[in-house]
């Protein structure tokens, strides 16, 4: 350390700046190592089937078919095509527009069965 003329040592700026993130990283690694050592893993996040070939993992809530994408143009047509390709995934997702309360929708897939998704 270098003295700054007042008798007090000057600290290195890089060391002080990184001690908190380094401490947090050591703590996180310690907790992770303890969980692995005890044989417990952190809770897994829920998985969503990534391909239509995987099939549904639960019974679908929405049973109505999606609308024909040919009825729409542009982005709405593309969205309806995707909805036809992955209905099981859309049925697992929640729609945030409130249509479950006002239009009786069961999931995001419901929006593609009655034209609501195109509005």
DSSP secondary structure letters along the chain = -EE-SSSSEEPPHHHHHHHHHHHHHHHHHHHHHHHHHHT--PPPPPP---SGGG--SS--S--SPPPPGGG--HHHHHHHHHHHH-HHHHTTSPPTTSHHHHS---SGGGGGTSSGGG-
User: For 17-35, what is each residue's pLDDT tens digit?
Assistant: 667 777 778 777 787 777 6
The residue among 52 and 26 whose pLDDT is bigger is 26
Whole-number percent of the chain with pLDDT over 70: 63
Q: What is the mean pLDDT of the chain?
A: 73
Query: Is pLDDT of 111 > 80?
Result: yes
Q: What is the pLDDT of residue 95?
A: 79
Please tell me the predicted confidence (pLDDT) of residue 20: 75
């Amino acid at each position: 350390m270098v003295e700054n003329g007042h008798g007090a040592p000057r600290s290195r700026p890089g060391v002080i700046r990184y001690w908190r993130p380094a401490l947090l990283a050591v703590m996180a690694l310690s907790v992770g190592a303890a969980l692995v050592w005890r044989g417990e893993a952190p809770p897994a996040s829920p998985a969503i089937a990534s391909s239509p070939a995987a099939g549904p993992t639960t019974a679908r809530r929405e049973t109505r078919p999606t609308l024909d994408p040919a009825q729409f143009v542009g982005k709405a047509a593309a969205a309806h095509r995707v909805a036809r390709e992955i209905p099981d995934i859309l049925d697992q997702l929640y729609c945030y527009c409130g249509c479950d309360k006002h239009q009786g929708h069961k999931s995001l897939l419901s929006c593609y069965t009655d034209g609501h998704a195109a509005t």
